[in-house]
Structure 1
């Protein structure tokens, strides 16, 4: 199994009527800028361990499990609203750093969160790193009735148990699932991740540590015009990192392309686009050493 080089400590923090689980590596110190790393959809904070181990410097790193993921319990809800992630992050920074600007990294859904948060609270961010937080395809108002109907239909499916996440007979089964989803993931990392991505239940099964309600379609349309106005306020330097595998083509089949994403980034005042070769969407698993060097060069 993968051998951790930099152990973390777990902390539980009260944030907005929830008890947030936060993984912390290193210690705060004068002159050390906190590095906040937020994970993506159906992932956990522990997922950054390989990158943390690959850093050359000793950083003070703060990485939460988002609400309803990992060891942060789900709120009393049957669906999730995107602005809650921004507010949770705002309260998290209040708790750990007060008014001190941070270096902020987000992957996938977390990348979308940090891009939005950075435009709303630019004074809190020194450097921002977006790991394939592409946003969503453009929507139009005519889609609203169908979107709301889908949302309500999926709430009923969730209640009926039709959207439950699969449980596995062992941690080995979880590891095999991770390796099937990402063929680049080695056995040692998969075995280690499985025990953080899932947890053993009372009946001996291994359940994914993610609330099934995260699968419910968002009732709100994705408004690119609103997103663009937020991106324009990203006053800090921004690094947008992409993997050589084009995930947008795989996910959206032409409905949303990498070229469209790059067009949106043109409104960001100070943005650099970087690419990691031989990597898929889970670049922090595939090429942690390369990603660590990119991040450290950018925030230096």
Structure 2
């Protein structure tokens, strides 16, 4: 197995509202794999893993979801789980047309929920396999509130520098070793004309999240649980043992709903599994994909 180290090819997709969605394409031949980041992240969170997966002989697409990174901020302000799922459906169909096969989805948090809704509820048969990265239909609401609180804290004010943003993250996740190279973090920030740095996502994403702030949360959770029970494709759940969102109880509940699913519990990793333990995470994805396409 080798890692694809060449610069990825930029690719543009069109989302459910005619919105522009920017992606990177790694590799040139093989089965397509689509990687969707979590809320508040960008496609660059997958840089290391995407090159490694492409090295297995897959074509990997790493996508900026609506309102994130270099993709369009939608004027409608529609940033519910179903809206991200609708974009996924549009992109997966475009990938299938381009590559001649349905993609495997690797979705972290928000990206995983989009995949769960798309495949288990809205468009069954859309994907060839589904990898959920530290996300299940039921999640710890204290953990959700903590994450959303951190995201909302500096959404307007921003930061004076990339270093100040790194300090804020270090206070939020004190157990994670602070990187010496902040170039990765800088890709998640937008330098503004006033000299401040703000997160690389639409503030409306955090301000208008109905799932997190209203009685609709239970309805959404029920919909996700029902979607999980309908999954028939190959599924892998990857959890960080120190996850703030997915307890072992919630993981077990998901595995009872999807008894054919595989499960990997990564030691010393929190919700940001790929960032905390990228090599172990990539190993898990590699084993799943290798078994999936053995003899293909």
- The 3 A distance-change label for structure 1 pair 89 and 290 is same
Query: Higher mean Cα deviation, 102-111 or 214-223?
Result: 214-223
The Cα of 1:192 is off from its aligned counterpart by 2.0
Alpha carbons 1:101, 1:125 under 8 Å: kept: yes
Cα deviation per residue 1:34-86 (whole Å; 9 max; x = unaligned)? Answer: 01010111111110112224445243111211111111121113452221111
The Cα of 1:6 is off from its aligned counterpart by 4.7
The structure showing larger relative contact order (alpha-carbon pairs under 8 Å, at least 6 residues apart) is: 1
1:196 aligns with 187
Alpha carbons 2:140, 2:245 under 8 Å: kept: no
Q: Could you list the runs of 5+ residues in structure 1 that have no partner in the other structure? A: 140-160, 250-256
CA distance in 1, matches of 2:38, 2:153: 23
The Cα of 1:107 is off from its aligned counterpart by 0.4
CA distance in 2, matches of 1:53, 1:289: 12
**2:226 counterpart (220, 224, 229):** 229
1:33 aligns with 31
2:283 aligns with 293
The Cα of 1:87 is off from its aligned counterpart by 1.0
The Cα of 1:276 is off from its aligned counterpart by 0.8
CA distance in 2, matches of 1:53, 1:176: 29
Query: Higher mean Cα deviation, 232-241 or 170-179?
Result: 170-179
Q: How many residues align structurally? A: 265
- Please, what is the CA RMSD of the aligned residues? 2.6
Alpha carbons 2:85, 2:118 under 8 Å: kept: yes
1:275 aligns with 265
Q: Report the 3-state secondary structure (helix = DSSP H, G, I; strand = E; otherwise coil) of the residue aligned with 2:58.
A: coil
1:1-300 pair list within 5 angstroms: 5-15=5-15, 16-27=17-28, 29=29, 32-55=30-53, 56-78=55-77, 80-98=79-97, 100-120=101-121, 121-136=123-138, 164-182=155-173, 183-188=175-180, 191-215=182-206, 216-218=208-210, 220-223=216-219, 224-248=221-245, 257-300=247-290
Higher Cα radius of gyration: 1
Q: TM-score when scaled to structure 1?
A: 0.79
Q: TM-score when scaled to structure 2?
A: 0.80
Cα deviation per residue 1:140-196 (whole Å; 9 max; x = unaligned)? Answer: xxxxxxxxxxxxxxxxxxxxx99844411122222333333334244245x022221
Q: Could you list the runs of 5+ residues in structure 2 that have no partner in the other structure? A: 142-151, 291-296
